[in-house]
Amino acid sequence: MISFKNKVVWITGASSGIGECLAEEFAKEGARVIISSHEPDELQRVQRKLAPVSKEVYPVVFNLGNPGEVQDAAAQVLKEFGQVDVLMNNGGISQRSLVAETPLEIDRRLMEIDYFAGVILSKAVLPGMIEQGEGYFGVTSTIAGKFGFPMRSAYSAAKHALFGFYESLLAENHRFGIRVTMFSPGRVQTNISLNALDKEGKARGVMDPGQAKGITPEACARKMVRSMKKGRRDVLIGGSELLMVYIYKYMRKLYYRMARRISPF
């Protein structure tokens, strides 16, 4: 069983939802937790909330959509902490719009936030992990990173890309003690559908009905940390919606029929 006690754990998207709950779970494990997002007030709220659990929770504010800020944040963290033992690439944004109506700028924006930001951070911390002979990447994808789905073309594409990158990273660096766990949650009660971009690039402001009935972010985070302690590599999290992953894998014709007919919300 892997221990995170006294490890430096950096979590993006930590001002709410799954990221906030991950911060609490790692704090309970005795880790030194760095929490990041572009919302300083919310990060301070999380830090205050976790104060009774741990005094070693440190906010680092930056915007995943700004590559310069991402690089500067990595340099700041490495200077102040010396190393990152666990990088939780959790922050991201979704989208709800048809392919034909989605401007390329939105596709690029989602790739920047959901894919490239994590790549920048991973490339920054990986050399130190290799040098110390161990390191762990936890990556929040989605079941839409396993198959395509209506109204999520940019989101699904970015999450698919994560699998290709981190599977390659693991194949190259497993001999150096590097671990990777890919997480594919289904429906989790977070703000991701509320903040999903519409075809105008504005927050949709509506919670998907299916998501509102999903598991809690607390339950999701607990399963994520438990899975990492066991060293698992590819983890599905959710309820009955996870059946779509198996239908896609084993009954492809049925998947195509269902994807055309099922409500995208």
Contact criterion met (CB below 8 Å) for 212 and 239: no
Q: In the annotation, is 115 catalytic?
A: no
Choosing from 58, 115, 136, 155, the catalytic residue is: 155
For the CA atoms of 188, 189, 191, 196, what is the dihedral angle to 10 degrees?
50
Burial string for 177-201 (b: 16+ CB within 10 Å, else e) reads ebbbbbbbbbbbbbebbebbbbbee
135 exposed, middle or buried (CB, 10 Å; 0-12, 13-18, 19+)? buried
| Cα–Cα dist 222/44, whole Å | 22
Catalytic residue list = 155
